[in-house]
């Protein structure tokens, strides 16, 4: 069993001397010391990169990070020092500078006793004219639902320059919740309750980072990442979360702070909520935060109308009132301005592509009327009522998900308008939905960009909710209902890669055959592209 017992780890000194490893399919817990969870790199720029590791020694330990151009480390060309201490759960980070643009480098950490970490590989971002850059893009990695085959597949590739994680890097639920014991892959079960306190979040990070495929991917490529909701609690927003109950779990502020602290300890990331990454003259990647900083509380249409008379009139009032509220936001005014200024600066400097790497689906998606036939014949009354409400909402132009940009149409319009005003070639990258989408983005009936949204690494998608209907039938109905939806996949896990050239941006979805067993076999791939200047999928 993939076990993580909180009391056992504390007894072994998880925050002083614990170590995790996975031999085969089991999680071994021991009191081993040293480099316990591999290494990683992130926050690449033209001349620097952030390096990460975890080292458990006798108290505070000063580590040396070394960077070389070859795996033999015959000549160390840059170095830096990092402190691993109990205050940071024995994780250590350092930014190594004075590197050359567009270069692959090897790196490692060394401890005072002479031991070395595994060797990793990282890359700086290019400067000046750039003909190609490619990234693997991931989201929604729930360890209980299966193996991280997407990470394994990407780790073996030689055509990627970086990896991007758009959130739900792990899940906060207690064992047996999501997934249920029936749904879970037995070897991937994690023991423990829901993550609420700093200790809980640290232990969950430790369990996920024990996965060898995740370790290998992070060892091979620099990472750009930001959390979504499950790194704290389901459907989180600035002031709370669906999966947070103040009466039994305390105030939201301390829980949110604990989740953020653990994330920044265990991930090769900086402390900024908004960041830009310049890929020479080819692209600017914008990476905002859309959950915990300024997000307005999500609307819940079903809860507002369920059991009430004249639901159509209530929905129309909802559509024309709260749903269109100009004050509702995912990023907040400060980040919206940073993004608008970033678009302008990027295009003014002649950069070809403006890439918005964020967490949730942006394109408009409404439920097709065929969904009435997707629920099982033996579905309970509550399920049938939910579908009926969803179909009525769709007939009035309302989306089926209010937790993504569809629940914040005024904020979406502001972002797309800022891209249009900057004459941007906008490519939006999204996760969260567990399914794959390619969507043309429009604002005021004018083209504004395209969206490539990725399927999950393991978390289940629509295929689990409509078992009696072919995924292809669902996809056809969705595309017929949503005119800007150009392609969708409803039943495969995996990831996608984005390849940028001066004239074209291409997304290729890697559709895994399975996540129930360890395998990197693909069931297929799908490629969709946008030409520079078109702002519409070819």
Question: Domains in the chain: how many in total?
Answer: 2
Q: Which helix (H) or strand (E) holds 12?
A: helix 6-12
- SS3 of 488-521: the string is EECCCCEEEEEEECCCEEEEEEEEECCCCCCCCC
Alpha-carbon distance 336 to 61, whole Å?
Answer: 41
The structure tokens listed for 199 are 């200790």
Residue 384 lies in a domain: yes
Mean pLDDT score, 206-228: 97
- SS3 of 250-288: the string is CCHHHHHHHHHHHHHHHCCCCCCCCEEEEECCCEEEEEC
Q: Please determine, for residue 435, whether its predicted confidence score (pLDDT) is greater than 80.
A: yes
Q: Please determine, for residue 521, whether its predicted confidence score (pLDDT) is greater than 80.
A: yes
Q: pLDDT at position 273, please?
A: 97
CA 188 → CA 30, 361, 484, distances in Å? 19, 28, 38
User: Domain of 46?
Assistant: 39-124
Q: Among 358, 378, 400, give the residue marking a domain's end.
A: 400
Q: Please determine, for residue 424, whether its predicted confidence score (pLDDT) is greater than 60.
A: yes
Residue 468 lies in a domain: no
Alpha-carbon distance 490 to 473, whole Å?
Answer: 10
Q: pLDDT at position 32, please?
A: 58
Q: Please determine, for residue 446, whether its predicted confidence score (pLDDT) is greater than 80.
A: yes
Q: What angle do CA 52, 495, 175 make, to 5 degrees?
A: 70
Alpha-carbon distance 220 to 95, whole Å?
Answer: 17
Q: What percent of the chain has pLDDT over 90?
A: 89
Q: pLDDT at position 27, please?
A: 41
Mean pLDDT score, 148-162: 98
Residue 157 lies in a domain: no
Confidence of residue 24 (pLDDT cuts 50, 70, 90): very low
Beta bridge partners of 430: 453
- SS3 of 103-122: the string is CEEEEEEECCCCCECCCEEE
Alpha-carbon distance 390 to 394, whole Å?
Answer: 6
Mean pLDDT score, 225-232: 98
Q: pLDDT at position 21, please?
A: 35
Residue 511 lies in a domain: no
Q: Please determine, for residue 23, whether its predicted confidence score (pLDDT) is greater than 60.
A: no
Nearest Cα neighbor of 502 from 174, 283, 270 is 283
Nearest Cα neighbor of 491 from 520, 456, 526 is 456
The structure tokens listed for 431 are 């996760």
Alpha-carbon distance 377 to 206, whole Å?
Answer: 43
Q: Please determine, for residue 30, whether its predicted confidence score (pLDDT) is greater than 70.
A: no
Nearest Cα neighbor of 359 from 261, 226, 233 is 226
Residue 257 lies in a domain: no
Note the pLDDT tens digit of each residue in 53-86. Answer: 999 999 999 999 999 999 999 999 999 999 999 9
**Mean of per-residue pLDDT scores for the chain:** 93
CA dihedral 481, 483, 489, 494 (to 10 degrees): -130
Q: Please determine, for residue 115, whether its predicted confidence score (pLDDT) is greater than 50.
A: yes
Confidence of residue 31 (pLDDT cuts 50, 70, 90): low
Mean pLDDT score, 348-357: 98
Q: What percent of the chain has pLDDT over 70?
A: 94
Q: Please determine, for residue 218, whether its predicted confidence score (pLDDT) is greater than 50.
A: yes
Q: Among 106, 124, 142, give the residue marking a domain's end.
A: 124
Residue 155 lies in a domain: no
Q: Please determine, for residue 498, whether its predicted confidence score (pLDDT) is greater than 60.
A: yes
Residue 82 lies in a domain: yes
Residue ranges of the alpha helices (H) in 321-370? 333-348
Q: pLDDT at position 8, please?
A: 37
Residue 480 lies in a domain: no
- SS3 of 49-91: the string is EEEEEEEECCCCEEEEEEEECCCCCCCEEEEEEEEECHHHCCE
Q: Among 94, 124, 154, give the residue marking a domain's end.
A: 124
Mean pLDDT score, 247-254: 98
Check which CATH number belongs to the domain holding 66 and give it. Answer: 2.60.40.380
b (16+ CB within 10 A) / e for 257-271: ebbbebbbbbbbbee
**Range scoring the smallest mean pLDDT among 131-135, 153-157, 187-191:** 187-191
């Amino acid at each position: 069993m993939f076990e993580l017992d909180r009391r056992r780890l504390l007894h072994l000194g998880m925050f002083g001397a614990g170590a995790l490893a996975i031999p085969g399919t089991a999680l071994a817990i021991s009191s081993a010391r040293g480099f316990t969870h591999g290494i990683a790199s992130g926050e690449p720029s033209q001349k620097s990169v952030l390096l990460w590791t975890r080292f458990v020694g006798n108290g505070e330990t000063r580590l040396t990070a070394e960077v070389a151009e070859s795996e033999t480390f015959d000549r160390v060309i840059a170095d830096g020092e990092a402190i691993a201490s109990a205050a940071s759960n024995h994780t250590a980070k350092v930014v190594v500078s004075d590197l050359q643009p567009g270069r692959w480098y090897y790196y490692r950490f060394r401890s005072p006793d002479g031991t070395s970490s595994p060797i990793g590989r990282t890359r700086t971002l290019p400067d000046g004219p750039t003909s190609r850059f490619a990234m693997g893009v991931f989201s929604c990695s729930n360890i209980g639902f299966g193996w991280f085959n997407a990470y394994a597949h990407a780790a073996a590739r030689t055509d990627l320059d970086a990896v991007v994680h758009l959130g739900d890097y792990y899940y906060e639920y207690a064992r047996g919740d999501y997934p249920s014991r029936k749904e879970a892959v037995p070897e991937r079960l994690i023991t423990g309750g829901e993550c609420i306190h700093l200790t809980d979040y640290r232990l969950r990070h430790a369990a996920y980072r024990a996965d060898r495929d995740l370790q290998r991917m992070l060892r091979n490529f620099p990472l750009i990442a930001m959390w979504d909701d499950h790194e704290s609690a389901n459907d989180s927003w600035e002031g709370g979360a669906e999966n947070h109950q103040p009466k039994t779990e305390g105030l939201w502020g301390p829980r949110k702070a604990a989740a953020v602290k653990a994330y920044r300890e265990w991930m090769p990331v900086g402390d900024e909520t908004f960041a830009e990454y310049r890929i020479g003259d080819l692209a600017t990647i914008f990476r905002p935060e859309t959950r915990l900083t300024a997000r307005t509380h999500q609307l819940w249409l079903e809860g507002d109308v369920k059991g009430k008379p004249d639901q159509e009139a209530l929905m129309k009032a909802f559509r024309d009132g709260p749903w269109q509220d100009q004050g509702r936001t995912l990023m907040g005014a400060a980040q919206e301005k940073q993004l608008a200024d970033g678009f302008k600066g990027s295009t003014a400097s002649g950069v070809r592509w403006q890439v918005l790497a964020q967490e949730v689906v942006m394109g408009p998606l409404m439920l097709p009327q065929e969904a009435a036939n997707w629920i099982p014949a033996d579905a309970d009354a509550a399920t049938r009522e939910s579908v009926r409400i969803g179909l009525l909402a769709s007939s009035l132009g309302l989306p089926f998900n209010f937790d993504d940009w569809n629940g914040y149409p005024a904020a979406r319009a502001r972002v797309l308008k800022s891209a249009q005003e900057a004459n941007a070639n906008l490519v939006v990258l999204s996760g969260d939905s567990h399914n794959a989408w390619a969507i043309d983005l429009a604002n005021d009936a004018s083209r504004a960009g395209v969206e490539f949204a990725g399927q999950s690494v393991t978390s289940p998608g629509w295929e689990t909710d409509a078992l009696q209907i072919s995924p292809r039938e669902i996809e056809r109905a969705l595309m017929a209902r949503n005119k800007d939806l150009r392609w969708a996949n409803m039943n495969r896990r995996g990831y996608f890669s984005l390849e940028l050239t001066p004239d074209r941006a291409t997304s290729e979805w890697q559709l895994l055959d399975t996540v129930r067993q360890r395998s990197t076999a693909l069931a297929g791939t799908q490629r969709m592209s946008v030409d520079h200047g078109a702002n519409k999928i070819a």
